[in-house]
């Protein structure tokens, strides 16, 4: 699957520490390789069609999964306290 990032997640990745950004990229690569694998950190988002979130340490990565187009679109990367608002 292909991973696409909206503008806000790109800004968040540029502003964080390199090690944490690499952890987030690694988590998204694992999801892209097999989006339906069992993973304790992935949960569906209420109110967002095909939306899920993955927990990476204290950060939350929200994305939508387009099964037909094989695309993961990341629409939010936020610290735990700032996510879901």
pLDDT above 70 covers what percent of the chain?
Answer: 93
- At residue 64, the pLDDT reads 94
Residue 43, domain member (yes or no): yes
The three-point CA angle 47-51-56 to 5° equals: 120
Residue 85, domain member (yes or no): no
Residue 68, domain member (yes or no): yes
pLDDT exceeds 60 at position 85: no
Q: Which CATH number characterizes residue 61's domain?
A: 3.30.2310.20
Residue 58 has a CB neighbour count (10 Å cut-off) of 10
Number of structural domains, the chain? 1
Q: What is the mean pLDDT of the chain?
A: 89
Domain around 49: 2-79
Residue 84, domain member (yes or no): no
pLDDT band, residue 38 (cuts 50/70/90): confident
């Amino acid at each position: 699957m292909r991973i696409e990032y909206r503008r806000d997640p790109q800004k968040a990745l540029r502003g964080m520490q390199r090690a944490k950004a690499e952890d987030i990229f690694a988590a998204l690569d694992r999801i892209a390789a097999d989006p339906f694998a069992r993973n304790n950190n992935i949960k569906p988002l209420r109110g967002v069609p095909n939306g899920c979130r993955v927990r990476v340490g204290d950060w939350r990565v929200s994305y939508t999964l387009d099964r037909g187009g094989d695309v993961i679109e990341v629409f939010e990367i936020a610290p735990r306290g700032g996510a879901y608002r």
